[in-house]
């Protein structure tokens, strides 16, 4: 076989089901020949997102793969890979490369070099015989430690060269680190000694598939659980100890319990400071648990640390806390549960006028409320897009199943949610997969809803159309007043119909539920659907400041 055949065969052995791609790359044909389905996107950035969403839902055990052509193809993919790098998503990027003889001729785009700052590992393949070793290194990088995109740039002559000998390659396992037993004992002592401990869970809990252990530790201590943006649904938010998730907007009880916490146990989080995620207020003791020792003391001073896979850390802590604590403690759990429930009820009461609004244009929170009440949330994968939809969805969409929400936002590219929801649907075809976009976001990547139609990827895209770039209102005041700079417009239902996607435009509150039911029924046939809601500008966000931040 040639180099393309070698890579395709290795992808097959690694469980690859489809190849997200566009458009000229020898790997596409080689994969199709051995029944790895090509999913050709319309825009490389979205193709990367498809691989991203697949990896998130498969928890990195089977990794999404994206292939692009040399030059303009991989140049155009850069924002998608940069977004995945910011989110620590493990996936494989395989661009074509210019001939080896031209690698140092200017001007030339040398992908492996250019992408090195936004990949966990990147390499240029120099000959066909090294491909098995390169692929093994790539999969090891994806499946050990902190996740991230990896890249192998393959010049045409390497794709075309004949491979000599038998292909000796076996699937690369996921490697997990276990925490130091002495560190576990100290962490348990600190947690039990704290008057008001709080657990802050990140997306490492998702990749470790440790939601059950997270809930078990929370109940055992007991301690309320808040989550980061990408950690949303690490614990089902219907759980009585869940405080919900935070971007710049958050449930009020998140703020209240964070304020009173004397110890924050961060698990599965890098604790990276970002404008679009929660911080830890000053004055809190911190136990930081992550699978990458480089994260510890990076942004916050850690009073104690546990390095290891989130599931193994939680297993060890549950055992040690149980040993140190002994039987009893039921009253404390009941009391904390009631306190969280009362705080949540009070917060939702403050927002009832928005959630129950009958106004037109529609209130976004009314749409979110009706969507939650209409779909089976235990069978949903949900994501937001950047900007206002993220701020509106993150606090109010209550998850009822762990791992049912893909939060993102360390980088905040408009339109990224469309690609990742397609990848999620490919990973779990029987689930309802929903992305909520604004009118600015669909302007960035909306043509790729045709990719969903052409490939029978039955996603539900919800568009909040308010005709304005709402997130920029604070920085474009003069520009908008004098020149209308923030105004955007369009009828996205007509756009969708022109791209062979069934769609409906909703303008009245009484039509919301019926439209959602119609949309869901279409997605169940394997076809995508676009629901466009004409909404108000939407200046109201659940923003309760964290003291000291």
- Listed by start position, the domains of the chain span 3-160, 181-337, 351-534
Distance CA 152, CA 140 (A): 13
Please give the full DSSP string across 110-174, using - where no structure is assigned: -HHHHTGGGSSEEEE--SGGGHHHHHHHHHHHHTBSS---EEEEEEHHHHHSBPPS-----PPPP
**In 3D, which of 343, 347, 264 has the Cα closest to residue 302?**
264
Q: Which residue in 264, 334, 331, 332 sits closest to 299, CA to CA? A: 264
Tell me the backbone φ, ψ of residue 39, rounded to 5 degrees.
-115, 100
* Residue 299: φ, ψ to 5°: -115, -35
Distance separating alpha carbons of residues 210 and 320, to the nearest angstrom: 17
Q: Which two tokens mark 453? A: 């139609």
Residue (of 267, 215, 266, 220) closest to 236 by Cα position: 215
Tokens linked to 191: 């947690």
Give CA–CA dist 215/14, Å, rounded: 32
CA dihedral 224, 412, 117, 112 (to 10 degrees): 120
> What is the bridge-based pairing of β-strands 121-124 and 65-68?
unpaired
pLDDT of residue 130: 97
What's the pLDDT at 532? Answer: 98
Give me the sign of the Cα torsion angle 446, 234, 250, 273.
negative
> Domain 351-534 adopts which CATH fold?
Rossmann fold (3.40.50)
What gap in Å lies between CA 310 and CA 160, rounded to an integer? 42
Burial class (CB in 10 A: 0-12, 13-18, 19+), 40: middle
| Spatial CA neighbour of 423 closest among 84, 28, 13 | 84
Q: What's the residue count for the chain?
A: 549
Answer yes or no: same fold for 181-337 and 351-534.
yes
Structural fold of domain 181-337: Rossmann fold (3.40.50)
Give the list of residues 6+ apart from residue 417 with CB closer than 8 angstroms, or none. 49, 383, 384, 385, 386, 389, 408, 435, 436, 437, 441
| Cα 524 from Cα 481, distance rounded (Å) | 45
Which CATH architecture describes the domain 3-160?
Answer: 3-Layer(aba) Sandwich (3.40)
Rounded distance between C-alpha atoms, residue 95 and residue 80, angstroms: 14
**Secondary structure of 268-305 as H, E, C letters:** CCCCCCCCCCCCCCCCCEEEEEECCHHHCCCCCCCCEE
Give pLDDT, residue 49: 98
One digit per residue, pLDDT tens: the chain, 549 residues?
999 999 999 999 999 999 999 989 999 999 999 999 999 999 999 999 999 999 999 998 899 999 999 999 999 999 999 999 999 999 999 999 988 888 787 788 899 999 999 999 999 999 999 999 999 999 999 999 999 999 999 999 999 999 999 999 999 999 999 999 999 999 999 999 999 999 999 999 999 999 999 999 999 999 999 999 999 999 999 999 999 999 999 999 999 999 999 999 999 999 999 888 788 999 999 999 999 999 999 999 999 999 999 999 999 999 999 999 987 667 899 999 999 999 999 999 999 999 999 999 999 999 999 999 999 999 999 999 999 999 999 999 999 999 999 999 888 899 999 999 999 999 999 999 999 999 999 999 999 999 999 999 999 999 999 988 877 778 888 998 899 888 888 999 999 999 999 999 999 999 999 999 999 999 999 999 999 999 998 889 999 998 877
Phi, psi for 404 (deg, rounded to 5): -100, 10
Instruction: Please give the structure tokens belonging to residue 38.
Output: 């090509």
CA distance 387 to 440: 9
Residue 60 has what pLDDT?
83
């Amino acid at each position: 076989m040639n180099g393309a055949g070698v890579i395709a065969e290795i992808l097959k052995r690694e469980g690859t089901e489809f190849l997200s791609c566009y458009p000229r790359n020898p790997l596409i044909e080689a994969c199709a020949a051995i029944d790895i389905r090509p999913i050709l996107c319309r825009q490389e950035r979205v193709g990367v997102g498809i691989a991203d969403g697949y990896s998130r839902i498969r928890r990195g055990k089977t990794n999404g793969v994206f292939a692009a052509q040399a030059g303009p193809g991989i140049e155009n993919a850069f924002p998608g890979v940069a977004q995945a790098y910011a989110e620590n998503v493990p996936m494989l990027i395989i661009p074509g490369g210019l001939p080896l003889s031209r690698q140092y001729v200017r001007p030339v785009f040398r992908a492996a070099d250019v992408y090195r700052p936004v990949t966990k590992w990147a390499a240029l393949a120099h000959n066909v015989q090294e491909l098995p070793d390169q692929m093994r290194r790539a999969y090891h990088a994806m499946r050990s430690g902190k996740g991230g995109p990896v890249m192998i740039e393959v010049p045409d002559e390497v794709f075309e060269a004949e491979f000599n000998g038998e292909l000796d390659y076996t699937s690369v396992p996921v490697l997990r680190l276990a925490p130091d037993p002495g560190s576990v004992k100290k962490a348990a002592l600190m947690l039990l000694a704290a008057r008001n401990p709080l657990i802050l869970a990140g997306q490492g809990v998702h990749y470790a598939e440790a939601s059950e252990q997270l809930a078990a530790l929370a109940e055992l201590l007991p301690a309320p659980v808040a989550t980061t943006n990408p950690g949303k649904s690490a614990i089902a938010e219907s759980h009585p100890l869940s405080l919900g998730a935070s971007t710049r907007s958050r449930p009020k009880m998140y703020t209240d319990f964070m304020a009173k916490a004397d110890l924050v146990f961060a698990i599965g989080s890098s604790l990276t400071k970002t404008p679009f995620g929660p911080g830890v207020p000053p004055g809190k003791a911190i136990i930081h648990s992550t699978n990458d020792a480089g994260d510890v003391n990076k942004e916050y001073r850690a009073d104690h640390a546990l390095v290891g896979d989130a599931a193994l850390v939680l297993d060890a802590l549950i055992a040690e806390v149980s040993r140190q604590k002994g039987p009893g403690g039921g009253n404390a759990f009941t009391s904390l549960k009631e306190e969280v429930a009362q705080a949540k009820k009070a917060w939702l009461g403050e927002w009832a006028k928005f959630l129950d609004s009958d106004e037109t244009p529609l209130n976004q929170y009314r749409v979110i409320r009706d969507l939650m009440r209409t779909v089976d949330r235990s069978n949903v994968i949900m994501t937001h897009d950047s900007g206002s939809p993220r701020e509106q969805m993150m606090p109010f969409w209550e998850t009822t199943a762990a791992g049912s929400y893909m939060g993102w936002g360390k980088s905040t590219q408009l339109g990224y949610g469309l690609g990742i929801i397609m990848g999620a649907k490919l990973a779990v075809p029987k689930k309802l997969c929903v992305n909520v976009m604004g009118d600015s976001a669909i302007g960035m990547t909306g043509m790729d809803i045709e990719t969903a139609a052409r490939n029978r990827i039955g996603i539900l895209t919800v568009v909040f159309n308010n005709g304005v770039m709402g997130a920029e209102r604070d920085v474009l005041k003069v520009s908008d007043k004098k020149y209308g700079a923030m105004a955007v417009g369009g009828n996205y239902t007509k756009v969708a119909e022109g791209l062979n996607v069934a769609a409906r435009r909703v303008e009245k509150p009484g039509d919301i539920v019926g439209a959602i039911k119609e949309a869901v029924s279409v997605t169940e046939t394997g076809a995508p659907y676009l629901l466009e809601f004409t909404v108000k500008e939407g200046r109201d966000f659940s923003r309760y400041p964290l003291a000291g931040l």
